[in-house]
Structure 1
C-alpha cells in the first residue's frame, strides 16, 4: 500500500496500491455487547461474500480480494464512486432518489431469490473457516427468546404459560426450519449498507455482511397473510377505510 485513508468512524480504510488501484481494508476490533467475537464476524463476512461471488457468481456485493485471519484483516473490492444510500436520503429526501430506493429493494430481493434453498453450500463454506451452528445462526437475534423470552415476561408481571408458550415454541421452530423459504440475509439490511451511484443508473451493491445468516423472511410474510385472513373472518369490514365513514361506531363483541 502506498496510501491509506481511514473511513471514520468504522474500522475501515481505503488503500491505494502501487498499481494505482484502490481497495477497501477492514480489520477487527473490540465491539461492546456483540453476540459473536470479531474473529467470528470477520470469517462470516468472508464466507458470505465469497459464497455470493464465487459459488453463485453474483455481483450484489464487494468481492473478497484477500484475507488474513491471523492479523484480523480482509481486503475487499472498492465500490467507489458509489455512495451510501442513507447519505443521499438525508441530504435530499426520498423523492429524488426513488429509483435508488427501488434498486435497493431489487438488490435485497435478488439476494433472497438467488440464495433461497442454498443454505447447505453456504454453511459448508462457512464451516471451513470455523465452527458454526446453522440452527442457531438461522434464528439470529431471535435465538435469545429461547433462553430469556419467558423470564422477561415474568419480570413484566405477565408470565407466559399454556397455549401462548406453545405458540412461542412453534414460532421459533418455524423460524429455525422454514424449508425452501430459507434465504441469506446480510443481517443489517438498512439504507446505510447499500451503495449506489448518485447519478445515472443506481447499480446497487450490498455491504456489511459481518452478521449474515439464513433467514426465513418469506414465512413471516405468510404468517402476516394468515393473520389478515383471520381478521377478515372475524370482522368482514376489516379492509374498509374508516376515515371515509362518519360517524364511526366502535365494534362490540
Structure 2
C-alpha cells in the first residue's frame, strides 16, 4: 500500500506532448485523432484527454498516465509503467475480465499509457468523504466483492502473467521480514519486547506470506478506496503500478485496518463486507471458505501491515502532540490486533501489537481516546 508524496502540491507534472498523443491514438485507433482539450487530474501525473468530434466507435475521452518528475514522488520508476501495462493487458486480454480499465495504447519509450476512461464512475474515497459510511454505501460492498473477484479469477494463472511481466526480484511493497525486524526494534525501545511464543508465530506468519499456496493471486499492490471507481453497486479497480502475484488476502487488509488516508474503517464482519469478499474469492479459491485457513492468512496480512506502519514510529514520535498521524498509528495497531483476535489466529503476535498500541497511548497522551468515538472512514486529514 504505497503512500503519496509528503507534499504532492510540490510535485511538477510537465504534460505529455499533445501532437505525440494524437499520433499515438491515431495509430492505436486506425483513424486520424485530434484532441479537443487535456484536463490534468491533480495531484497525480494523470490527465483526461478529450477527443475532438470522435468518430463512431471511438471513445469521447481517454486517460493518460505518465511518470512524475519530482524526486520525492513514487512514480519515478519506468518499471511501474511496464508493470501496469502487463497487469491490465493480462486481465483484459488473457483472462477476459472487466475488473479494471483496458489499455488502449502505450509508448514504453516515453513511459506513457493510454487507458479506457471509466467516467462517470467516482473514486470510492470521494464517496466516503462526502457521504460517510453509515449506512455502508453500495460502492463499499462492490469494492470488497471486486477484490475477491480479482483473487478468484487470477489464482492459478501466474504463468501467463509472468510471460508478460517476468519476476524482477523481491517484492518492494511487501518486505515483511524487514518490517517486522524494525517494528520489533522500535517496540523494544519503547518498552514492548516481543515475547518468546510470538517469535514462533512470526516464523509461521512469514512462511505463510512467502508461500501463499492456493491464496497466490494477482493484487494491484495498492488496494485502497481511492483506487476503486464506483458507480452504485458496480465499480472497477485501478492503479496496477505495483501489481504482482502475492498472497491475495493482502488485498483485503484495507477492509479491516485503516490505510494511509483514514483514521478508521468499518467493521467488515458486521457490515457483511467480509462475507461478500469471501464468497467472491471462494469461486476461484475454495480454501477461502475454510475459517482456519482464511483467518490465519488474513491475520498474517493485517498484522504485517500494522508492523509496516509501526516502522514510521521515529518520524511520528518527533511530531507535535495532536498530530493525527499518531492517532492513526494507534488505531491501526488496534484494528490489526482486533482482526487477528476475531479470526482466532496468531494470538501472541496480536497481543504484542495491542500492547504496542497501549504503550503508544501512554507515550502520546493525546492518542488515548476510544476508537468508537469516531465513525467509520474518518479521514486522517
TM range (shorter): 0.7 to 0.9
- CA-to-aligned-CA distance 1:131-186 (integer Å, 9 cap, x gap): 623xx23xx5331x434643553453467697655543442232121112111111
Look up the match of 2:155: 116
Residue 15 in structure 1 maps to residue 55 in structure 2 = no
Residue 132 in structure 1 maps to residue 168 in structure 2 = yes
- CA-to-aligned-CA distance 1:116-139 (integer Å, 9 cap, x gap): 122222122112xxx623xx23xx
- CA-to-aligned-CA distance 1:168-216 (integer Å, 9 cap, x gap): 344223212111211111111111111122xxx5321111111122232
Correspondence list, 1:36-55, <5 A: 37-55=76-94
Of residues 94, 97, 102, the one that matches 2:141 is: 102
Look up the match of 2:344: 228
- CA-to-aligned-CA distance 1:229-248 (integer Å, 9 cap, x gap): 787xxxxxxxxxxxxxxxxx
Alpha-carbon RMSD across the aligned residues, in angstroms, is 2.9
Structure 1: 5+ residue stretches without partners: 232-253
Q: Is the 8 A contact 1:111 1:185 kept in 2?
A: yes
**How far is 1:32 from its partner?**
2.4
Q: 1-side partners of 2:119 and 2:195: how far apart?
A: 53
Bigger shift: 42-51 or 188-197?
A: 188-197
Q: 1-side partners of 2:139 and 2:182: how far apart?
A: 43
Structure 2: 5+ residue stretches without partners: 1-34, 55-59, 250-287, 300-339, 348-381
Look up the match of 2:240: 209
Report the 3-state secondary structure (helix = DSSP H, G, I; strand = E; otherwise coil) of the residue aligned with 1:70: helix
Q: 2-side partners of 1:82 and 1:229: how far apart?
A: 37
Bigger shift: 154-163 or 93-102?
A: 154-163
Look up the match of 1:146: 177
Return the structure number with greater relative CO, CA threshold 8 A, min gap 6. Answer: 1
Look up the match of 1:24: 63
Larger Rg, first or second structure (1 or 2):
1
**How far is 1:2 from its partner?**
3.0
Bigger shift: 50-59 or 201-210?
A: 201-210
Q: 2-side partners of 1:229 and 1:178: how far apart?
A: 16
Summarize the Cα distance change of 1:220–1:66 in structure 2 as closer, same or farther, 3 Å threshold. Answer: same
